Amino acid sequence: MLKKIPVSKLKLGMTVCEINPHPKKFASSLFETIITHQSQLEQFQKTNIEYVHIKVRDKKHLKTVSLQSELKQAKTIKKDSIQIIKSFMNDIRLGKQVSIEYVTPLVSQIVQSIIRNEEALLTLIQLKNKDQYTYEHSLRTSVLLTVFAKQLGYNAEELNMFCMGGFLLDIGKAKVPLSILSKPSMLNAQELAAAQQHIKINYKLIEELAIDSETVIQIMTEHHERLDGSGYPCNKTSSKLSLAGQMAAIVDTYDACASDRVYKKATPPHKILQNFLYKQQLFDNSIVNIFIHCIGIYPISSFVSLSNGQLALVIGQTEKGLLYPNIRIIFDSVKRVYIDPIDIQLRSDADVPQIVGVEDPIKWGIDTYSFLINQ
């Protein structure tokens, strides 16, 4: 679907499909480009173009296989990816010769799984083991970044680069002392500075691994930068930040906040997304909004209360809109009893209960993760 907007409203991440009035220098009437950098925005603003048409994507994710069928392959991909990132980082830690070819086949498998049915890996990455945070974080950022890039309309080849970037974004941590990485409490200032060195190490590894993809490099080097210049290592500000780098910053922060650590509890997904929107000085709202459209206001694994007193787990997004995900009802909060899980698709009519809040499963003593995959 196309939407006409004034050039002044054009933002990073938007796909411009045609230009009005059509400037001579863009000869093809099928002009289509994703705005990935501030300089492209400035280029548009310098022309005499008043309006552009942008592509507006809805939640229609084309799925070529069923969730149940894709889950089988995605389980193997998840298991393999943890093994691969673990031994890749170990080899780097031990100073062994490493090659990017070692991770390339896996990256391609992740992308193909996401193209077939993204909900399989989006579900599986919710099953977390906090002792494996560093390795699982790599997989989660690669999956989330690929789904994010798919939402923006990138092709399969480009998705491979987003996936690779997500997989490698913290690879420099291989050279950070394990005592710091696995410290069961908050890091002090000195330890934090040592952990932040992982980006400097990333720069060296980019050279050693001969990584030449601009997208992968932007993800590996910019994911801790922030719009207002308060990030690290270069204190880059908005005009210097790439779209891929900003997407990586959102995904990396989202997963860090959504994960239980020994020293902190996970923040519910909808709260994290809300915080992103409040922190406009750190994250670009237009890019955050695309991410929200991509994973939903209530992302997979959110635990919600319904207008009829039942509690349910979000198991997928739908075409009905952000407020109407697919849910699995598992508990009656009035009678305080489990019910045989029932899957329903929420919609706006009165026959179906509505989401009225988000609940903390720990408060209810419910291990929601065991209900995520329909056995």
| Among the residue ranges 14-22, 167-175, 259-267, 278-286, the one whose residues contact Fe ion (CB under 5 A) | 167-175
CA-wise closest residue to 373 among 321, 322, 316: 316
> How many residues lie near Fe ion (CB under 5 A)?
1
Q: Of 170 and 225, which CB lies nearer to Fe ion in the complex structure?
A: 170
Q: Of 231 and 325, which CB lies nearer to Fe ion in the complex structure?
A: 231
Please give the order of strands across the beta sheet that includes 310-316.
Answer: 337-345, 326-332, 310-316, 303-306, 355-358
| Among the residue ranges 36-44, 166-174, 213-221, 232-240, the one whose residues contact Fe ion (CB under 5 A) | 166-174
| Among the residue ranges 165-173, 187-195, 212-220, 292-300, the one whose residues contact Fe ion (CB under 5 A) | 165-173
Q: Of 35 and 144, which CB lies nearer to Fe ion in the complex structure?
A: 144
The least CB distance from residue 195 to Fe ion, in Å, is 9
The least CB distance from residue 125 to Fe ion, in Å, is 17
The least CB distance from residue 147 to Fe ion, in Å, is 19
Q: Of 175 and 293, which CB lies nearer to Fe ion in the complex structure?
A: 175
Q: Of 165 and 269, which CB lies nearer to Fe ion in the complex structure?
A: 165
| Among the residue ranges 123-131, 163-171, 232-240, 293-301, the one whose residues contact Fe ion (CB under 5 A) | 163-171
The least CB distance from residue 166 to Fe ion, in Å, is 11
Q: Of 136 and 170, which CB lies nearer to Fe ion in the complex structure?
A: 170
Our CA angle for 269, 259, 184, nearest 5°, is: 150
3-state class (DSSP) for residue 241: coil
222 binding Fe ion? (CB under 5 A): no
| Among the residue ranges 149-157, 164-172, 352-360, 367-375, the one whose residues contact Fe ion (CB under 5 A) | 164-172
C-beta separation of 372 from 75 below 8 A: no
The least CB distance from residue 303 to Fe ion, in Å, is 28
H or E segment to which residue 180 belongs: helix 178-181
Among 118, 119, 136, 170, binds Fe ion (CB under 5 A): 170
The least CB distance from residue 141 to Fe ion, in Å, is 9
Q: Which residue has the tokens 């950098």?
A: 37
3-state class (DSSP) for residue 261: strand
3-state class (DSSP) for residue 208: helix
- Ranked by CB distance to Fe ion, the top (closest) residue is 170
How far is residue 320's CA from residue 369's CA, in Å, rounded to a whole number? 25
CA neighbours within 13 Å on the CB side: how many for 143? 27
Q: Of 170 and 284, which CB lies nearer to Fe ion in the complex structure?
A: 170
- In sequence order, what DSSP letters do the residues of 61-125 get, joined into one string? ---SS-HHHHHHHHHHHHHHHHHHHHHHHHHHHTT----GGGTHHHHHHHHHHHHHHHHHHHHHT
| Among the residue ranges 108-116, 170-178, 283-291, 350-358, the one whose residues contact Fe ion (CB under 5 A) | 170-178
CA-wise closest residue to 75 among 122, 140, 136, 121: 121
Q: Of 118 and 170, which CB lies nearer to Fe ion in the complex structure?
A: 170
CA-wise closest residue to 316 among 55, 63, 73: 63
The least CB distance from residue 202 to Fe ion, in Å, is 8
- Name beta bridge partners: 313: 303, 328
The least CB distance from residue 333 to Fe ion, in Å, is 39
3-state class (DSSP) for residue 137: helix
The least CB distance from residue 196 to Fe ion, in Å, is 8
Q: Of 119 and 170, which CB lies nearer to Fe ion in the complex structure?
A: 170
Residue numbers at the binding site for Fe ion (CB under 5 A):
170
